[in-house]
Amino acid sequence: MTLPEIKLVFDEPVQRKKTPKHLADYSPQERREVAQELGLPAFRATQVATHYFSHLSDDPQTWSDIPAEMRQSIAAALTPKLIELVRSVTCDDGMTRKDLWKLHDGVLVESVLMRYTDRTTVCISSQAGCGMNCPFCATGQAGLTRNLSAGEITEQIVAAARTCANGELPGGPTRLSNIVFMGMGEPLANYNAVIRSVRNITDPSPDGLGISARSVTVSTVGLVNGIEKLTEEGIAVTLAVSLHTPDDELRNTLVPINSRWKIREVLAAADAYEKRTGRRYSIEYALIRDINDQSWRSDLLGRLLKNRNAHVNLIPLNPTPGSKWTASRREDEAEFVRILESYGVPVTVRDTRGREIDGACGQLAAAEKTRTD
């Protein structure tokens, strides 16, 4: 008896093209091993890292310590171009610049570079989209597309460092001084790639950019397991916790992951981080009119934080398109600040740089997507 032929029907594979591997994905030791696997002496990895992190060079033809005929292939293997600039928009007389990047598989992410008198900060993306679903955040609305690799995150930082060094911002050449993980994505949900990127920032030359950990801010919705892991890591970055309200009831809706980790647990994890690293942490609080800006909430927040080594960063809400929510009234904002200060809690109101170019919450990538869909 012959069995009927079983026809296997496969769906069109939805497999993503793999992101090419980049030197920035590896530790310094692994980079040397990768070079050897490519049939190169280990020191070539160090030479390429020096060109990449110290000279910020993306032109292998200038890598004069590497034989001319090898430069192209070594660059292609160790520093493939992972992000391609789609467009830049500027405001504040060019002092704020938002870059939209296309990744190898067409996915779009963005970064924002801001020059101040005393520092230049880049705000980078750690994921394409975000899975945290906070209702006031544009990135949250679209869901998570994918994690970025350490190479893709690091490329945003190195591109910003290059822009600064080349004098592309008004005021002439400068040094990139601060990096904040406050672009698209939840950094602690892409833990390994984010930590590798942080090490690429803080490792001294030639292994990294040699920027101090205290100049790096990792902002999280409050993934307690991630904060605990970060505490064990031994890198004293500045931790920012997006709290947005001092009560669990409202936070369950503003930051849905709150149904998994409550405010008390998030603050306990941040306290342990502060104890281990000696670094004061930030509490991010987007002020939303009549939603979370009442004086009783400021009072509750003050009581919650008065004996903690935390600083509150109030962010006037940047309303997403179609949002029913808007920023707080000036007088409510002032009262909110006054009450917090009466508890001795340090508080600042974040400046609203980049508002007119949708600098706060993933809106450029969203706009581009609608245009090209």
x/- mask, ligand SAH, residues 164-193, rule CB under 6 A, reads: ------------------x---x-------
Distance CA 151, CA 80 (A): 9
Buried (b) or exposed (e) across 320-341, using 16+ Cβ within 10 A?
beeeebebbeeebbebbbebbe
Minimum gap (Å) between residue 136 Cβ and ligand SAH: 5
Minimum gap (Å) between residue 45 Cβ and ligand SAH: 32
Residue closer to ligand SAH by CB (options 28, 319) is 319
Please, what is the end-to-end C-alpha distance for the chain in angstroms? 53
Residue closer to ligand SAH by CB (options 221, 345) is 221
266 binds ligand SAH, rule: CB under 6 A? no
110 as an active site residue: the answer is yes
160 binds ligand SAH, rule: CB under 6 A? no
Distance CA 216, CA 271 (A): 18
**How wide is the angle at C-alpha 52 spanned by C-alphas 48 and 58, nearest 5°?**
105
Minimum gap (Å) between residue 245 Cβ and ligand SAH: 11
Q: How many CA atoms lie within 13 A of 145 on its CB side?
A: 21
Residue 157 is encoded by which pair of tokens? 């930082």
217 binds ligand SAH, rule: CB under 6 A? no
366 binds ligand SAH, rule: CB under 6 A? no
Task: Tell which positions 121-150 bind ligand SAH, by CB under 6 A.
Answer: 132, 134, 136-137
* Catalytic-role residue among 123, 134, 137, 361: 361
Distance CA 76, CA 90 (A): 31
Minimum gap (Å) between residue 41 Cβ and ligand SAH: 41
- Unique residue bearing structure tokens 């500045």: 238
Distance CA 256, CA 186 (A): 13
Minimum gap (Å) between residue 283 Cβ and ligand SAH: 9
Sheet of 178-181, strands arranged across? 83-91, 96-103, 108-115, 120-123, 178-181, 216-220, 238-242, 281-287, 310-316, 347-349
x/- mask, ligand SAH, residues 13-52, rule CB under 6 A, reads: ----------------------------------------
Which residue stretch of 23-31, 257-265, 292-300, 315-323 sits at the interface with ligand SAH (rule: CB under 6 A)?
315-323
Minimum gap (Å) between residue 6 Cβ and ligand SAH: 47
Sheet strands (E) in the chain: 83-91, 96-103, 108-115, 120-123, 127-129, 144-147, 178-181, 216-220, 238-242, 281-287, 310-316, 347-349
Binding ligand SAH by CB under 6 A: which of 317, 339, 347, 364? Answer: 317
Residue closer to ligand SAH by CB (options 165, 367) is 367
Residue closer to ligand SAH by CB (options 57, 326) is 326
Which residue stretch of 111-119, 292-300, 316-324, 338-346 sits at the interface with ligand SAH (rule: CB under 6 A)?
316-324
* Catalytic-role residue among 110, 152, 186, 284: 110
238 binds ligand SAH, rule: CB under 6 A? no
Distance CA 267, CA 220 (A): 12
Query: What residues act catalytically?
Result: 110, 361
Which residue ranges make up the site for ligand SAH (CB under 6 A)?
132, 134, 136-137, 182, 186, 219-221, 242, 284, 286, 315, 317-318, 320, 360-361
